[in-house]
Amino acid sequence: MITRKGQATRDRIVAAAAALMYEHGVAGTSTEDVQAAAGVSASQIYHYFGDKTCLTRAVVGYWSDAILGSQEPLLARLDDVDALRAWADYVVDMQRVNDFRGGCPLGSLASELADTDDAAQGDVAAGYRRWQGAIRDGLAAMKERGALVDGADVDQLALALLTALQGGLLLAKALRDGEPLRIALSAMIDHIATFTAYPAGYSVVGRRGEG
């Protein structure tokens, strides 16, 4: 059983590796880099992680927890489309804080690992399924409250919304501009709004300018 001190050391290693891999990619991050950033010895890294693959998988889990940890509370409180709009605004605001640099940590890991590391790819896929599930649960709660009509397929809507989010994050990163992200989320939430009793033309995402 890992001690409290050992857990703290392990967590520090994973956090350092996550930051480095987010900035430089998995291939561009060495165990020596992690060692220096975390302030640990090589033996400590290999004590908790047998190899870089194990560390990379821990990083995938770290970013999945970080993303869902910040978004699940908002998604769990979806009462209506306005609450969905608030979640979308939060996503855009978080990217604006970083000047639309970096994009989605999970998406960056997916693009690098999908064809090179089957185990890590499986972890990334699990992270996306968890993300989709959180969105789906929020939409299902809206449906249960009567905010969405019975015919709304919350599974399909959740997957489509996550897909729009990921595409928007990628373009926002490439263009250093939040408009693609805002428009992608707005268009998808406008579609979700067609499954409510709101009148046509209801604005579901704020029209604040990015850039």
Q: Are 52 and 31 in contact (CB under 8 A)?
A: yes
Half-sphere exposure of 198 (CA within 13 A, CB side): 18
Q: Is the pLDDT of residue 205 over 70?
A: no
Residue-wise pLDDT for 4-20, tens only, equals 999 999 999 999 999 99
DSSP secondary structure code for residue 108 in this structure: H
Q: What single letter denotes the amino acid at residue 77?
A: R
Q: Is the pLDDT of residue 128 over 90?
A: yes
Indicate the domain borders of the chain.
1-50, 60-193
Global confidence as pTM: 0.87
Average pLDDT over residues 43-69: 95
Average pLDDT over residues 47-57: 94
Under CATH, what is the fold of the domain 1-50? Arc Repressor Mutant, subunit A (1.10.10)
| CA triple 209-87-207, angle to 5 deg | 20
Domain at 60-193: CATH architecture? Orthogonal Bundle (1.10)
Q: Are 59 and 147 in contact (CB under 8 A)?
A: no
